[in-house]
Amino acid sequence: MFIVENYGLAVLFCIITMLCWGSWANTQKLVQHRWRFELFYWDYVWGIFLLALIGAFTMGSIGESGRPFLDDLAQADAANIRSAFIGGVVFNLANILLTAAIAGAGMAVAFPVGIGLALVIGVLINYLMLSKGDPVLLFCGVALVTLAIVLNAVAYSRHAGSSGKIGVGKWIGVSVVAGVLMSTFYPFIAAGMDLEDFVSPAPGKMTPYTAFVVFAGGIVVSNLLFNTVLMRRPLEGTPVRYIDYVKGRFGVHLVGILGGCIWGVGNLFNLIAAGKAGPAISYGLGQGATLVAALWGVLIWKEFKGGSNTVNVLVAIMFVLFVTGLGLVIASGI
């Protein structure tokens, strides 16, 4: 299977993760005015599972290093499979709330608040699990990201208040809950892998490719419950039915599947990089997607259009803090 052999390539993979995780939500924005997020989310989940299988049977099964996907899955311990599966369940609950917040408040708000918070908590958890990287630089970077999250929430509150938008507190609250949950999924999937040795993983442990497939299975299975509940009791709007999903146009379904595949590429690359960079740095850089998503929201979707000078200054400072914080996270592993 394909394995990352040096830190520089691991950082590059994490940057690709950042771009993918910060960009998939554009697919929802493309269809949100004609396709409810609950319906979009079914296709998004299928896209993640499809990408996981493609990765497992290609990059995860070629070459002489490591165990091929099917052999690896056959020898995996039940406890490790269960851990990665639970990670998928936890992620799915967090991500479906995040997707709702994106629909309600926009990418420039939901990502910095939700995923930014996930970055902060997740880095702490993952560092305790496997201490790789300079802790001073790592946690200074996390502190700057934390401040950026606060400024973003303040900017959104002021902008929403001045433009007459309602439900400001609700969507920030949903983003916070999503972020807390999002911060806890990575240790579950990482616990099922041998992070110290991808070339000759310990018996019972899984390669990143196998762990991702099991993780994606947890997302698919849990979505039958989580998304069904949200369809019947949506956070906003009227209930939707399965027949509404079936009636959707083929092109609209493809947009959702594309969104899931984009996120899946990012997750696969992140897991592959974790062996060399360590889970704290790998996860932290990947969740730098907050910066990418905020740029999409501000520059492309104009989610802060018409904001006051104070709001614009807060957003600008938020970007500077995010960039500086992520730079420190990268430097912590050198």
- Reported as a single tens digit per residue, the pLDDT across 269-284 is 999 999 888 887 888 8
Question: Does 73 fall in a domain?
Answer: yes
Question: Does 2 fall in a domain?
Answer: no
pTM score, whole prediction: 0.86
Please compute the mean of the pLDDT values over residues 7-26 and round it to a whole number. 92
Interatomic CA distance for residues 48 and 44, integer angstroms: 7
Question: Does 1 fall in a domain?
Answer: no
Q: Which residue has the higher pLDDT, 307 or 75?
A: 75
* 206: phi then psi, degrees, rounded to nearest 5: -110, 155
Q: Which residue has the higher pLDDT, 232 or 284?
A: 232
Please compute the mean of the pLDDT values over residues 199-219 and round it to a whole number. 96
User: Quick one: what percent of the chain has pLDDT higher than 70?
Assistant: 97
Contact 118, 249 (CB under 8 A): no
- Contacts of residue 285, defined as CB under 8 A and 6 or more positions apart, other chains included, come to 11, 14, 15, 17, 18, 277, 326, 329, 330
- Average pLDDT, rounded, for the chain: 89
* 115: phi then psi, degrees, rounded to nearest 5: -75, -30
What pLDDT, in 10s, does the model give residues 92-149? 999 999 888 888 878 777 877 888 788 888 888 888 877 878 999 989 998 898 888 7
User: Quick one: what percent of the chain has pLDDT higher than 90?
Assistant: 53
Q: What is the pLDDT of residue 145?
A: 83
- The answer to whether residue 297 scores a pLDDT higher than 90 is no
Contact 113, 176 (CB under 8 A): yes
Q: Which residue has the higher pLDDT, 326 or 134?
A: 134
Contact 271, 208 (CB under 8 A): yes
- The answer to whether residue 163 scores a pLDDT higher than 70 is no
Interatomic CA distance for residues 43 and 111, integer angstroms: 21
Q: What is the pLDDT of residue 126?
A: 81
Interatomic CA distance for residues 144 and 108, integer angstroms: 18
Domain range for 162 is 7-331
Q: How many domains does the chain have?
A: 1
Question: Does 91 fall in a domain?
Answer: yes
- The answer to whether residue 169 scores a pLDDT higher than 80 is no
Q: What is the pLDDT of residue 161?
A: 64
Q: What is the pLDDT of residue 294?
A: 80
Q: What is the pLDDT of residue 167?
A: 61
Interatomic CA distance for residues 296 and 294, integer angstroms: 5
Lowest mean pLDDT among 100-114, 183-197, 227-241, 272-286: 100-114
pLDDT band at 44 (very low <50, low <70, confident <90, very high): very high
Interatomic CA distance for residues 215 and 52, integer angstroms: 9
Contact 5, 276 (CB under 8 A): yes
Q: What is the pLDDT of residue 45?
A: 98
Q: What is the pLDDT of residue 162?
A: 63
- The answer to whether residue 168 scores a pLDDT higher than 70 is no
Q: What is the pLDDT of residue 249?
A: 95
Contact 131, 332 (CB under 8 A): no
pLDDT band at 291 (very low <50, low <70, confident <90, very high): confident
- The answer to whether residue 13 scores a pLDDT higher than 90 is yes
Which of 89, 120, 108, 87 shows the shortest CA–CA distance to 22? 108
